[in-house]
Structure 1
Amino acid sequence: MHVTFRQLAIFNAVAEKLSFTEAANTLHLTQPAVSVQIKRLEDSVGLPLFEQLGKKVYLTGAGEELLHYSRNIFQELGEAKEIFAQMQDISRGTLSVSVATTASSFATRMISAFLKQYPAATIKLDVTNRGTLIRQLESNEKDIVIMGKPPEHMELVGEAFMKNPLVVIAPPDHPLAGKEGISINALQNEPFVVREPASGTRAALEKLFAWCHISPTIQVEIADNEAIKEAVAAGLGLSVVSRHTLELDLQAKRLVILDVEHFPIARNWYLAYRRGKRLSPIALAFKALVFEQAPKMAEALSP
C-alpha cells in the first residue's frame, strides 16, 4: 500500500467535514483535485473510504479504520516536530556526557559554566572508568566523552583541549617529600598504588618505567582515583595521578607532589565522539564552551 502524507491530510479534511467541497475550501484546493486524491488513496487501500447517500457523505468501515490510523500518524508527527524543535533549542535541550573519573573535578566546573548560560538545559552525566568510556563510544551511547587519549583502533574524533600532567604523589612525611631533582631510579624500591590495567594513567606510567628500565613494586591496585589518593595518604605507597585531581588534597596538605625526573608525564585531555556522528546543537554548544573554558581551567588547576 503506497500512501502519501498529502493524501492522508486530504482524507482527514474530508472525513472531518464529511464534504468534498468544504474540505477543498479548507485546503484551498479545487473539489476535483480533492476527489482525485481520494480516488488514488482508495485505489492504494483497495477499498472504498467514503460512500454518498443522497447529498450526504459517510465514512465506510475502511474509512473509519484509516481515520483512526491517520490521526495517530499525524499526532506522532506533531510530537516528533516538537521534539526536534526542543533539540534545536539549546536552552532546553538534553546532553548526555561521560567523563573519566580523573577528569570529573574540572568537567563538573565546565558543566556548571554551561548551565549558567543555558539554565533550562538538562545534562545527563556519567563519571566512569576508561573501560566503560570505550564501551560507550563503541555503542555510541553518549553525545560526548571527556577522557585521556582515545583508543587508536576505533573510528573516533578525538580533539585535545587541555594538558593533563601526571605527577608522583606521596604523603607529606615521606622521605622523598621536599627533595628536588629526584632521580627516577629512586622509585625502584618504592611500593606503588596504581589504577587498573585498562587505565590510561596506568599505561602511561608503565610505558615510562619500561623506558627507564625500572620496575617498582605494585603494592595495591585500585580502580577509583579518590581511593588511590586515600591509600597514598595512609602510607600504602606512592602513586601517579593527574595534577588536576589534587587541588583540594594539596590545599589540605594531605598529599605532596614529588619532584621526580621525567615527571610530570605530558598527556592531554580529549573530547571524543564517534567519527561521522552529527552533534546536536546543544552538543556543539557544549563543545565550544569546553574549548573556550580550557585555558582558564588549566590556569586555575596549575600549581
Structure 2
Amino acid sequence: MNYTLHQLQIFLKITETNSITKAAEELHLTQPAVSIQLKNFQDQFEIPLTEVVGRQLYVTDFGHEIAEIAHKINNEVKEIQNKTLSFKGQLTGKLTLSVVSTGKYIIPYFLSDFLKLHQGVKLNLDVTNKSKVLKSLEKNEVDFSMVSILPEKFSIHNEELMDNKLFLIANKDFKITRKIYQPSFLNELTIIYRENGSGTRWKMERFFEKHNLKITNKLELTSNEAVKQAVLAGLGVSIMPLIGLKNELLNNELQIIPLKGLPLKTNWNLIWHKQKSLSPVAKAYLNFIKENKNQIIDTKFKWFEKY
C-alpha cells in the first residue's frame, strides 16, 4: 500500500460529510480532484470504502473502520506539528471555549490578538444557548465558558470582561411620545422573549416581577438574532443586550425606548471550574485576558460608552 496523508485527510472529510461535493467545498478543492484522490485511495483496498445508493454516497462499515484509523493518524501528525513548534519555543495546543449566543459579538475581540501571537494554538469555539454552555462546563469539556449571568450551582472562578447593558428596543417606526416611560407601559405592548434558559430572558423576567408586570401579548424566539429581526419587522419590542445592536442603532433602523429602570446591567465573565487544572494554553490565555482586557475594551468597544 502506498496511500498518502493527503488521501487520508480527504477520505476523512468525505466520511464526515457523506458527500464528495461538500468535502471538496470544505477542503477548498475541486470535485474532480477529490473524486480522483478517493479512487486512488480505494484502489489500494480490495473491500469497498464507500457505495452509492441512488444518488447518495454512503461509507461502508469497512470504510468507517479505516476512517477511525485515519483519524488517529491525522491526530498524531498534528501532534508532530505541535511538538515541532514547542521545541521552537512557541505555545501549542488547543483552546476550547463555549459561549452564550449573544457573546458572539464580544468573544472574537478577546481572542484575535492572542491567536495572532500564538499561531500554534488551535481554537475550538462553540457558540450556543446558556443551558448547553453550562452543560459543557459541568462535563469538563471546555477550558472556559463565557456568560453574562454567573451560574449558582457550580463552584467556579471568574474573570470579569466588560459590562452588559440591556435596553428596551423598538424599530424605527415606533413613535416615542414621552421623555421617559413607566414600566407599566410594557403591559400595552407586544413583548418578544428569548427562549427559557436564556440569560437575557432571566434578567428581563426579574425586571417584570420587580414591577409586578403581567405581560399578556408576547412572542418567544430562540436566538438574539431572531429577536432582533422580529423587532426590525415591527412584530413587537424587546429588552435586548446593547452589544448586538451597534449597526442597527447607528443606521437608525432600531431605537431605544426610554424606560424607567433601564438599562439593566450584568457583566460578561470568563468562567471555569475551581477544580479544573488549566492547560498551559488556557493559563496563557487567562494571563493575556488579565493583562489586555482594558485595552481591548478601550479600542474595540468605545461606542458602547455612548449609551
TM-score (norm 1): 0.67
User: Is contact 2:227–2:238 with CA below 8 Å preserved after alignment?
Assistant: yes
Q: Note if contact 2:161-2:293 (Cα within 8 Å) is conserved in structure 1.
A: no
**Alignment of structure 1 residues 107-146 onto 2, 5 Å:** 107-146=107-146
Alpha-carbon deviations, 1:48-96, whole Å to 9, x = none? xxxxxxxxxxxxxxxxxxxxxxxxxxxx9xx79x769959966332201
Partner SS state of residue 120, structure 2: coil
Q: Return the letter of the residue paired with 2:305.
A: S
Structure 1 position 286, deviation (Å): 1.9
1:198-237 equivalence runs, <5 A: 198-237=197-236
Does residue 1:257 correspond to 2:231, yes or no? no
What residue in structure 2 maps to residue 21 of structure 1? Answer: none
Pair 1:106-2:106 in alignment: yes
The 5 A counterparts of 1:37-186 are 86=86, 91-176=91-176, 179-186=178-185
Q: Does 1:282 align with 2:285?
A: no
Structure 1 pair 235–90 and aligned structure 2 pair: CA distance change class (3 A): farther
Cα deviation for residue 232 of structure 1 reads 0.4
Aligned partner letter, 2:134: I
1:8-59 CA-partner distances (Å, limit 9, x unpaired): xxxxxxxxxxxxxxxxxxxxxxxxxxxxxxxxxxxxxxxxxxxxxxxxxxxx
C-alpha contact (below 8 Å) 2:96/2:143 kept by paired residues? yes
1:159-184 deviations in whole A, cap 9, x for unaligned? Answer: 322111111110011123x7422211
Q: What one-letter code is carried by the residue in structure 1 that aligns with 2:150? A: P
Aligned counterparts of 1:88 and 1:276: Cα–Cα separation in 2: 31
Structure 1 residue 300: Cα displacement: 4.1
Is residue 179–residue 258 contact of structure 1 (8 Å, CA) maintained in 2? Answer: no
Contact 1:145–1:272 under 8 Å retained in 2: yes
Deviation at 1:263, TM superposition (A): 0.5
Matched to 1:217, the amino acid is T
Counterpart Cα distance in 1 of 2:190 and 2:271: 34
Contact 2:85–2:91 (8 Å) recurs in 1? no
CA distance in 1, matches of 2:84, 2:157: 25
- 1:187 aligned partner: 186
Q: Aligned to 1:299, which of 275, 282, 302?
A: 302
The residue that corresponds to 1:41 in the other structure is none
Structure 1 residue 224: deviation in Å?
0.8
> Displacement of 1:118 after TM fit?
2.0
Tell me the SS of whatever aligns to 2:180.
coil
Partner of 2:196: 197
User: Structure 1 residues 84, 126: CA separation in 2 closer, same or farther (over 3 Å shift)?
Assistant: farther
Q: Which amino acid aligns with 1:302?
A: E
Counterpart of 1:281, as a letter, is P
Q: Residue 284 of structure 1 aligns to which amino acid in structure 2?
A: K
What TM-score do you get using the length of structure 2 for normalisation?
0.67
Residue 56 of structure 1: aligned partner: none
Shift of 1:221: 0.7
* 1:120 partner letter: G
Deviates more, 1:275-284 or 1:201-210: 275-284
**What is the root-mean-square deviation of aligned Cα atoms in Å?**
2.5
Other structure's SS at 1:221 match: strand
CA distances 1:215-246 after superposition (whole Å, capped 9, x unpaired): 22352111111111000000111111111111
SS of the counterpart of 1:185?
Answer: helix
Q: Distance in 2 between matches of 1:88 and 1:147?
A: 36
Aligned-pair identity in percent equals 29
Q: Which is greater in Rg? A: 1
Residue 243 of structure 2 aligns with which residue? 244
Q: CA deviation at 1:149?
A: 1.6
Q: Which one-letter code corresponds to 1:193 in the other structure?
A: I
Q: 1:91 to 1:185 in 2, by over 3 A?
A: same
The 1:301/1:171 distance shift into structure 2, 3 A limit, reads: same
Q: Report the more deviating stretch, 259-268 or 289-298.
A: 289-298
After TM superposition, give the deviation of residue 122 of structure 1 in Å: 1.3
Counterpart residue identity of residue 119, structure 1: Q
| Structure 1 residues without counterparts, runs of 5 or longer | 1-75
Structure 1: how far apart are the matches of 2:184 and 2:137? 38
